[in-house]
Amino acid sequence: MSLTASTVTHQTHIPEIQLNNIEMRYSTDTADVLALHQVSLDIAKGEFVSLLGPSGCGKTTLLRLMADLIQPTNGTIHVAGKTAKEARLSQKYGIVFQSPVLYDWRKVKQNVALPLELTGVSKSERERKALELLELVGLEKFADQYPWQLSGGMQQRVAIARALAMEPEILLMDEPFSALDEFSRERLNEELLSVWNKIQNTIVFVTHSIPESIFLSDRVFVLSPHPGRLSAVVEIPLPRPRTQEMRNSPEFFELIAQIRDSFEGV
Ligand SMILES: Nc1ncnc2c1ncn2[C@@H]1O[C@H](COP(=O)(O)OP(=O)(O)OP(=O)(O)O)[C@@H](O)[C@H]1O
C-alpha cells in the first residue's frame, strides 16, 4: 500500500470479486427467507462500487458473503481467483461496520493498532503504522485520546484506519456513515475518496442513500427486495476528483432520476 501516490487510475478491469449465481436462504425453525436470488456480478480491481437498495433487499448479506462471514446456499464467489475463504484467510479484506465498535479503554492509536497486535507485530512497528494510518484519515493529533473524546464522524475515521491496518486489497463498508448528520456525512464521503485515491484498493460500500452512492462510486449495483436480486447496474461517469459542487449539477440529478427509475421498474 502506497500512502504517497496522489493520483491513480482506478479501473484496471482485472476482476477482483466475482459472484456467480448466488442464492442465500436463511432457514430457522420459525422462518425460511430467500434473502438473495440469482445474483451474479463482477467488481474490478481498484473499483469503487456501492450496493444500494431499500431495507431488507440483502445488501448486508451480500457484503457478509463477500467477506466469507457466511456462505451461500448456492453459487460461487471468487476473490482474485481464490475462494472467499482463502481470501479471508490471507487477510484480503478490511471491514467497516455501521457502528465503529471501538474499545473505549484503549487510546485511539491502540484501537487502530489492534489487528497488528493480534498478529504479533512489534510495539514500535505497531505505533509507527498506527500513526501513519491516523495521518491518512486526518486524525494524527488525536492518537493519544480515547474514542469517547471524539465525535461520531471521527470515531468512524478511526474504524476506517483500523480496517486498513492489515493493508487489505478490499475494503468492505456497511453503511459506515448512516448514523451521522448530513453535513458530516458529505464531508466524510469526500475524505473517504481522498483516502481511496491514496491506497488504491477496491471498495464495496453499502448504502440506502442514492446521492451518496452516486457521489462515491464508479458503478452502483441496485438491489430490489423479496427476494433480494440485482435489478440494475448504473455506471457513474462523473469525473474524478468528485467535488461537492457536482452534487448540484444536472448530471448528478439525471443519475438520481435514472436510479429512481430502476427502482420503479422492479
Ligand atoms: N441471520 C438471519 N436469519 C434470518 N433471516 C435473516 C438473517 N439475516 C438477514 N435475514 C433476512 O434476509 C433479508 C436480507 O437482510 P439484509 O440484512 O441482508 O438486508 P439489508 O438490505 O442489508 O437491510 P438493511 O438495509 O435494513 O440493513 C431480510 O429479509 C432479513 O430479514
Element (H, E) at 79: strand 74-79
Nearest CA to ligand 1 atom 17: 60
Q: What is the pLDDT of residues 26-77, one digit of tens each?
A: 998 888 999 999 999 999 999 999 999 999 999 999 999 999 999 999 999 9
| Residue 91 vs residue 62, higher pLDDT | 62
3-state secondary structure the chain: CCCCCCCCCCCCCCEEEEEEEEEEEEECCCCEEEEEEEEEEEEECCCEEEEECCCCCCHHHHHHHHCCCCCCCEEEEEECCEEHHHHHHCCCEEEECCCCCCCCCCCHHHHHHHHHHHCCCCHHHHHHHHHHHHHHCCCHHHCCCCHHHCCHHHHHHHHHHHHCCCCCCEEEEECCCCCCCHHHHHHHHHHHHHHHHHHCCEEEEEECCHHHHHHHCCEEEEEECCCEEEEEEEECCCCCCCCHHHHHCHHHHHHHHHHHHHHHCC
Counted residue by residue, the chain has a size of: 266
* Res. 155: pLDDT tops 50: yes
Among 22, 61, 71, 174, which residue has the most ligand 1 atoms within 8 Å of its CB, making it the best to mutate? 61
Asked if residue 57 has its Cβ within 6 Å of ligand 1, the reply is yes
* Res. 266: pLDDT tops 90: no
Give the model's confidence band at 179: pLDDT under 50 very low, under 70 low, under 90 confident, else very high: confident
Q: What is the pLDDT of residues 79-89, one digit of tens each?
A: 988 999 999 98
- What pLDDT does residue 43 have? 97
> First and final CA of the chain: distance in angstroms?
40
Give the model's confidence band at 13: pLDDT under 50 very low, under 70 low, under 90 confident, else very high: low
**What CA–CA distance (Å, rounded) separates 82 from 64?**
17
Give the model's confidence band at 263: pLDDT under 50 very low, under 70 low, under 90 confident, else very high: confident
**Three-point CA angle 142, 145, 148, nearest 5°:** 110
Q: What is the pLDDT of residues 139-151, one digit of tens each?
A: 999 999 999 999 9
Q: What is the pLDDT of residues 219-234, one digit of tens each?
A: 999 999 989 999 999 9
* Res. 1: pLDDT tops 50: no
Q: What are the two backbone dihedrals, phi and then psi, of residue 233, each rounded to the nearest 5 degrees?
A: -125, 115
Give the count of beta carbons closer than 10 Å to the beta carbon of residue 14.
12
Distance 210 CA to ligand 1 centre (A): 20
Residue range 236-249: mean pLDDT, rounded: 96
| Residue 112 vs residue 101, higher pLDDT | 112
* Res. 93: pLDDT tops 70: yes
Asked if residue 211 has its Cβ within 6 Å of ligand 1, the reply is no
